[in-house]
Each structure stands twice: as structure tokens, then as C-alpha cells.
Amino acid sequence: MKSHKRIWWLYWCFQIFLILFLALKVSAQHSFVIRTMLNSVLPATTFSFSLDVDKPEGTDSPSVIDDYFRNDKSAWQERLNVEHIFDPISGVDTGKHKDITCYSVTSTGAISGTSISASGALSSTGDFTVNSNKFTVTASSGNTAIAGTLGVTGIATLGDSSQMASSAAPTADADIANKKYVDDQDTADHPAYTGGESHTDGSGLIIKTGYIARSGTSTTVTFGTAFPNAVVSAQVTVKHTNITSSLHAISALSTSAMTIITDGEDSTGYYWFAIGY
């Protein structure tokens, strides 16, 4: 009777040892694939060897224990083969994961692997990192850092406080212009008038204006600086002390001067205006 009990004790010790060994072997692996199948029905797996917790019975003969050993070992191997490597000969990769198919995966620690895919929702309450620093999401703030290029095929909506990494001017046609660049361009295209005879806008158009006192019947206005290329237009407004019928006209116009003539001497001077480039 003692020999019979010792055999049962050895049998159950072996079963516990086998379970612990396999659990430790599996948990030691780090490179694996997790495929979550949320809210779906997993296909049933059919096994040839059954695991009966009620076998062997206390009334079974010790001579059949070896049969239970072989059956249970085959049953465990059959179940491990579903999603684990089980090589009874070399044992090199035994215990490593193939795929893990499950309804959901919940982890209080880090989950890492060479490939992780999900057909359902993939959520995390901790930081999310891809390849050390290539793509990181900080769980507490939602801040996301991307080391590579972010490709967007749809419309990207940015918040009002979105900022460029720097205030550098864009260099390519498709680059995004920052506020500093736009302000600088606006200043360059529409420079402020600071006084004086001449003002040049961003397009290169030059405007000259001033006042000159009449000098007899022919008055010449000499520009402070000549127009570099040509004069487009010029106008004169006569300053009178009273209303008269005298005529006034521009008789000559060049890039450096214009001449105003009159048939009377009742005016006191001329407000003049010239445009060129």
C-alpha cells in the first residue's frame, strides 16, 4: 500500500513540475507576436489526447500509471503545439511563441515584440514606444514625438496653437510657411513710407512726389535720384492764389527730371507726382 501511494505521489509531483517548467519556459521568451481578436469567437481546437483531472483513480492499478504519463505528456504537447514551438528532439526553440490568439490582452507591465497587430481596439494606459524613439506617445499628456516622416493622405487638422519646430523660412514650394516668414514677406512687399521724395514698394515700383515753386513760364523738376529704368506716368497739380485761365502742362519727362510750362504767371508753384521703376 505504501508503494502504491508513493507512485501516486510521484505522478502528481511530475505533473506539477511539468506545468511549472513549461510556464517558466514560455515566460522567458521576449520576441513574439500578439494578435488580439476582440469581440470575436475563436475557432475550436480539436485534440486527440484528453486531459482528465479525475485520472488515475485511487483504485487504478499502479501498472497503468505509465499509460497516464504518456497520455498526459502527449496532451500537453498537443496543446502547446497550437501556439508554441515544441521540439521534443532538439528542444532548441521549445517554449517560444508562434502566435498568441486571444479575446483580449491585459498587461500591467511592458509588452514588446518584433510585430504586434490587432484586428480590434488596441489601447494602452502607459507610454507607447516604437523602436526606442521613432514614435513615442506620452500617456500622461498625449504628447507624440515622431523621429521620421509623417505621411497623411487625408486632411490634417492642426490646433490654433500649433507651431513649427523653428522660425526658419521654407525652402521648397510645398513647405509650410511660419508666421515670421509671412510677416517678413509682408514687410518686404509693403515697406513703410519713411518720408522723403521717393518710395519703393516690394514689386519694385517707385513713387516720387514733391512741391516746387514756379520759375517763370518753364519750371524744371530734377529728381533727387533718377528712376533706374523708366518713368511710367507723371502728374502736376497747380497751386494758385486765385482762379485764372492760364494753361499748365508737362513738356518734357525723363528718368531724371520733368519740365512744366505755362502761358501765364499767375500760379505760385506745382505739386508734382511721378511713377516709374
Of the three residues 89, 118, 147, the one that is the final residue of a domain is 118
Domain holding 261, by residue range, is 198-276
Q: Has residue 124 been placed in a domain?
A: no
Structural domains of the chain, count: 2
CATH number at residue 207: 2.60.40.3940
Specify the amino acid at residue 153.
T
3-state helix, strand, coil in the chain (%, to 5): 20, 25, 55
Cα gap 200→132, rounded to integer Å: 55
* C-alpha distances out from residue 148 to 3, 106, 151, 153, 245, Å: 69, 29, 10, 16, 78
**Per-residue pLDDT reduced to its tens digit, 33-63:** 344 433 344 556 788 888 887 888 878 888 8
Residues 114 and 206 in one domain: no
> Which of the residue ranges 100-104, 118-122, 153-157, 182-186 would you say has the lowest mean pLDDT?
100-104
**Per-residue pLDDT reduced to its tens digit, 223-269:** 999 999 999 999 999 998 777 778 899 999 999 999 999 988 778 99
Q: Has residue 246 been placed in a domain?
A: yes
**Is residue 209 pLDDT above 90, yes or no?**
yes
**Is residue 22 pLDDT above 70, yes or no?**
no
Cα gap 96→28, rounded to integer Å: 8
Q: What is the pTM of this model?
A: 0.40
Q: Has residue 255 been placed in a domain?
A: yes
Residues 11 and 111 in one domain: yes
Q: Which residue has the cell 494602452?
A: 124
Of the three residues 98, 118, 138, the one that is the final residue of a domain is 118
Residues 109 and 18 in one domain: yes
Alpha-helix runs per DSSP H in the chain? 2-27, 65-80, 179-189
38, 64 contact by CB (below 8 A): no
Of the three residues 77, 93, 118, the one that is the final residue of a domain is 118
